[in-house]
Each structure stands twice: as structure tokens, then as C-alpha cells.
Chain A
């Protein structure tokens, strides 16, 4: 990592500052200029399809192994390879058009909260 720095003719004192600015500046555009922000397609009766600039991490911030640019995230709960989709929604007849009826007290509370 530090090999190029040692060969540098620059004086020792300036190195940490220069290195720090370098990483700060480099990070944003090294993410491949032009990658659009993430977009999520909610596929009817299927997964959430995610494209663009995004990262999938565990609650501790550890990246989840990812092998492709565009991924499909399980939304039916049945996948054996979560967080990714494995097509199980088709066997479950997962239906995104069905809405669970909201119980009356909960709906009133929500309406009150909304003003």
C-alpha cells in the first residue's frame, strides 16, 4: 500500500495529510462515474429488483456476498437463498395485489395521527 509513497520525493511531514485528502477525494468518483443511484423495481407477484449504485450489508455493516450488478431480493419470504430471490414466490402463488385488511382501531389511530 505504502510503496509508492516511500519513493516519493515529497518531504515526510506532508504525507499523512496528502494521503488522507487523496482517499477522501478518490472515494466518490471511484465508485464508477455515471452509475445511477439505486432504483428498485417492485415486480408484481415477485421480488424487488435493484439496479444502480447500492450496497447490501448485514446489520453490522458487513457486505453480503454479491455476484451480480442487478439483484432480485426475496419479498415473499420463501427463498432458500435470502436475501436473494430463488423463484419460490411462483410455487407459493405469492400475490402482491392482495392487501391484508387493516383492523378498524388501527386505521382510526393512523388517520388521527395523520391529522
Chain B
């Protein structure tokens, strides 16, 4: 992925360090650690802190596609892992304190599935999908795709970290069954991340991973970071399993609304195929994820039960915050991105904000 534009002292220091790693830079790590500590102490809202969420996102990205111009070996640089762990501890702390969690069921498959289905059904957060279906302009559809692209262009990857971390048995079989379908069941052209790219291109957007990263607000990065946090830490394997379950359980119906919104503007089946596919796929996945993955894991490792439910509740809580921010912006005729998309031109961070309101 391209190197994002820094959003403050911490991300600027990290990016500078990543590009110039090597002997003699010890003091830069010290500076970075100090800046992280100061920023963590000072931030009023870690979930919406542009500088810190981007910093964490970049550190995680070293484990996915890497960052252009940064050595692959930076992934396991102990100093960078140390910085990541500090940010993760604070981030996890915020999620644990703020995500509302329902009463725990017994650690049996059907009881866990019922709790998760009830949790998803009680979700009465603001509905981005209804807005997309009935009201969104083409420009807002583009913004919607750009926001979603942070995850959707690497769809399924954060949950794949869990595969080797689940015990041999029902939960692991379920995760593999879901993930195989996510990656196209052996057919590249059906890989979900690839289908999302086709949808982006259908609206004249660039489908390169990370192309629009500089336009994506902290909260969207936080949503991606939560998946990486749960996926990359073995101790949180319950949370990543619950996360996937809730993800699948809040997908098929919203995706039918998204498809409607794109059809309303005359976009072809090729463009809506990503959403149409998810209506059908996730109606299958949610059953497997609730009962066999989340329920199966709770039965096999009952001590993970609380984290399974926490991971699921995190999806709903973050989605509600994201929906609030997006709808507030769109209903006010503003961009939900950090800066409106410049037509036809490559994305420029936060410069030409003036023309935004007029287009909506």
C-alpha cells in the first residue's frame, strides 16, 4: 500500500522512521514512544483520533500488504511491535469500556447463536443501508464505497488470522468453510475483494488497495484496526470469531438495500453483483458463523465465551458510530470523507474542501 499522508506528530514520526530504519535510529524509537504516550494521555476520543488510528493502521498494514518503500522486515521489528502493543492496549481498553455487552448465555452452540441473533436484531442504530437504498446521490455512493474499501479490498483477511488459532474441530471447520467462500471457492473472479474492486471501477473509482486512504476518517480506520487487533492476537481469538459472526449476521439484508440504491441510479448488474452476491452468501455464512464458529468455539473453549460476545458487540457498536457520522454528514449535504472526492482526479487530502457542499 502507498504510504499515507501523516495526520499528526505520531504518524509523521512513525512514517519517517519506517522509511529510514536502520542503525543509529534508536533515538527515533524513543521519540516515537514518548509521542505515543503523550498522545494517548491527551486524546479526548481515541476512536476518532486521526493521528493515532492512522499510526495503528500503518503498523498493522506491515502484516498485510506492507507499505511502499518500507522493508518487509519492519513487520517484526521488536521496537515497532512494542509501539503497536501500547496503542493496542489503549484501544482495547476503550472498546472494553464503551461497547455494551449483553448478558452471557451458557457456552453451548444454540444458546450462543440465539444471543448473537438477538443482539443483531436489537441493533437499532442509524441505517446507512436505508439511506443508500432510497436517498444517496451518486457522489454519496462513491463516498460509501471509498469508506468501505478500507476493509472490503482486503475482505476476509483479518479473520483468516484466526484459522491457525482455533482448535481442531467444529469452529475451525466452520471458519474455513466461510473463508473459502469469501475467497471465491477457488475462482479468482468470485473473490469478494475482487468483486468489490469491480463495483468501485463501475463508479469510476480506483480499486487499488489503499488508494483513497488519505480521505478515510479515523473511525473507519478504527473499525479496520479492531479486526486486526482481534485477529493478530491469539488471546483474542474469541473476539475475532464473534466479530465475524456479527459481521455476517448484519450483512445480507443491508446488502439488498445497497444493491437497490445502486440500481436506483441505473448501475448495471456487474456493479451491483458484489451486493447481490453478499445477500445470498451471508445468509449462508451467518448460520454457520453463529452456530458452528461462535457456538462451536464457546463449547470447545468456554473461557472464550465473554470475548466471543464482546467481539460481536464491537461490530454493532462501531457500526452504529460509523453510521451516525456518515448520515450526519450526508444529511447536512457534506462529505463523509476527510475531504470531498475531486472529480476524476486522484484523491488529494484535505485541500479543496470548499467545493464539497455544492455537489450534494
CA of A71 to CA of B91 in the docked complex: distance in angstroms? Answer: 38
Q: Is the interface of A mostly helix, strand, loop or mixed?
A: loop
Q: Nearest CB to that of A81 among chain B residues?
A: B280
Across chains A and B, the number of contacting residue pairs, with CB separation under 8 Å, is: 61
Q: In the bound complex, do residue A70 and residue B282 qualify as a contact, i.e. CB atoms below 8 Å apart?
A: no
Q: Which of A44, A67, A84 contacts B283 (CB 8 A)?
A: A84
| CB atoms of B279 and A87 under 8 A apart | yes
Partner of B288, one of A45, A49, A67, A81: A49
Docked complex: A41-96 residues within 8 A CB-CB of B: 41, 43-47, 49, 67-72, 80-81, 84-88, 90-91
Task: Give chain B nearest CB distance to A51 CB in angstroms.
Answer: 8
Bound state CA distance, A44 and B287, in angstroms? 10
**A45 proximity list for chain B (CB < 8 A):** 117
Contacts of B286 in A (CB 8 A): 87
Within the complex, the shortest CB–CB distance from B121 to chain A, in Å, comes to 6
A interface residues, how many (CB within 8 angstroms):
22
A90–B177 CB distance below 8 A: no
Is B252 part of the contact surface with A, judged by Cβ < 8 Å?
yes
List the B residue with the shortest CB-CB distance to A41.
Answer: B287
CB pair A90–B284 under 8 Å, yes or no, is no
User: In the complex, what residues of A have CB within 8 A of residue B288's CB?
Assistant: 49, 70
Interface: B277 (CB within 8 A): yes
> Contact between B280 and A67 (Cβ–Cβ < 8 Å)?
yes
Residue among B121, B253, B279, B282 facing the most chain A CB atoms (10 A cut-off): B279
Q: Are B256 and A68 in contact (CB under 8 A)?
A: no
A80 touches B283 (CB 8 A): no
Cβ–Cβ contact B185 & A87, under 8 A: no
* B residues in contact with A71, CB < 8 Å: 284
In the complex, 30 of the A-B residue pairs with CB atoms within 8 angstroms, ordered by the A residue number, are A43-B287, A44-B110, A44-B113, A44-B114, A46-B287, A49-B284, A67-B190, A67-B277, A68-B181, A69-B185, A70-B284, A71-B284, A72-B283, A72-B287, A81-B280, A84-B280, A84-B283, A85-B252, A85-B280, A86-B252, A86-B256, A86-B279, A86-B280, A86-B283, A87-B253, A87-B279, A87-B282, A87-B283, A88-B253, A90-B120
Interface residue ranges, A against B (CB under 8 Å): 41, 43-47, 49, 67-72, 80-81, 84-88, 90-91
